[in-house]
Amino acid sequence: MRTINTEEIEELIYKMALKAGVSLTDGAKAALYDAAEREEGGAAKFALKKLCENFELAERENMPVCQDTGMAVVLMNIGQNVHLEGKLLQTAVDDGVRRAYADGYFRKSVCDPLTRVNTGDNTPAALHTEIVAGDKIEITFMPKGFGSENMSRVYMLKPAQGTDGIIDAIAETVKIAGSRPCPPVICGVGIGGSFDTCTYLAKRALTRKTGSRNPRADIAEIEERALEKINALGIGCQGFHGNITALAVMCEWAPTHIAGLPVAVNIQCHCMRAQTEVL
């Protein structure tokens, strides 16, 4: 049994949040440079080049890449031989978020769902925990903007719809979103599980290196075919028309019920920010 004080977690969350707000992941940077190169011209190419200038400037000047510094999504894999002591885990995470969003001059974007009154400090974070083997904690901090989150969808497909149905659902989600979620987008897709687990898997999928392939061949094929179908839509960067509407489609899967085929499509804009650390 290894004991970890949650103040260590708070400190790590603070550091990860500060870094995540001002820098894209290496995978997203590479995908944007590649897109700016490959796009054929017009307003979409102009916008892609500006997006590359933007993330370079943000990192250099230590300022938020996007003003939507997001809702703080925290994914934690906790080894079952870890014993946590100190303040409550959610409190530790929120304390780290609160300090980082104040010190980083980040926007506070969390509010009551009905009164719309802002909590003023970007808390609470959306904290997801999984219990895994071992005595370590792997923490991923992902600020999630809502221009793209709003365009996400869940489909409860019929088993008979199969692979083609999954690909259609992913492409339809991007088509309905159109110019609104800041394309080029990244699609995180959860396939299988239950109504709730497929949405979690979709979020998890986004944290993979942008453009990486699922090790399972038939899932990787869905990723490739869906990306091709999306990029044939012609929406382009910002909806200005072009060949690059998505930078990547990444799917995660879980066994599901014999009667169902849940598919969750979580849309992420090009501004993919995430930090992962192991304690």
Partner 1 sequence: MKKLNLPLTSKDVKELKAGDSVLLNGVILTARDCAHKRIKELMDRGEKLPFEIANAYIYYAGPCPAKPKMASGSCGPTTSARMDSFAPALLDAGLGGMIGKGEMSDEVRRAVARNGKVYFAAIGGAGALYAECIKKSRCIAFDDLLSEAVFKLEVENFPAVVAFDCRGGSIYD
Nearest CB to partner 1, comparing residues 76 and 267:
267
For residue 40, state whether it binds partner 1 (rule: CB under 8 A): no
Q: Which stretch binds partner 1 (CB under 8 A): 41-49, 159-167, 189-197, 206-214?
A: 41-49
Q: Which of 69, 173, 199, 214 binds partner 1 (CB under 8 A)?
A: 69
Q: How far is the CB of 136 from partner 1 (least distance, A)?
A: 34
Find the binder of partner 1 among 20, 31, 58, 226 (CB under 8 A): 58
Nearer to partner 1, 33 or 46 (CB): 46
> Which of 192, 200, 191, 151 has the alpha carbon at shortest distance from 172?
151
Residues in Cβ contact with 76 at an 8 Å cutoff, skipping those fewer than 6 apart: 89, 127, 128, 129, 130, 137, 138, 139, 140
Cβ–Cβ < 8 Å for 120, 69 = no
Chain residues 85-124 in contact with partner 1, contact rule CB under 8 A: 105-109, 116, 118, 120
CB count in 10 Å sphere of residue 51: 24
At 145, is the secondary structure helix, strand, or coil? coil
224: left (phi over 0), alpha (psi -120 to 50) or beta: alpha
Of 53-61, 81-89, 190-198, 256-264, which segment contacts partner 1 by CB under 8 A?
Answer: 53-61
**What's the one-letter identity of residue 44?**
A
Site string for partner 1, 168-207 (x = CB under 8 A): ----------xxxxx-------------------------
Q: Which residue's CB is nearer to partner 1, number 79 or number 147?
A: 147
- Smallest separation, CB 116 to partner 1 (Å): 6
Confirm or reject binding of residue 81 to partner 1 (CB under 8 A).
Answer: no
Residues ≥6 apart with Cβ < 8 Å to 234: 241, 242, 243, 245
Q: Does 150 engage in binding with partner 1 (CB under 8 A)?
A: yes
Mask for 253-272, x = binds partner 1 (CB under 8 A): ----------------xxx-
Residues 6+ apart with CB under 8 A from 41: none
Task: Please give the residue ranges that form the binding site for partner 1 (CB under 8 A).
Answer: 42-43, 46-47, 50-51, 53-55, 57-58, 61, 63-69, 105-109, 116, 118, 120, 147, 150, 178-182, 238-241, 269-271
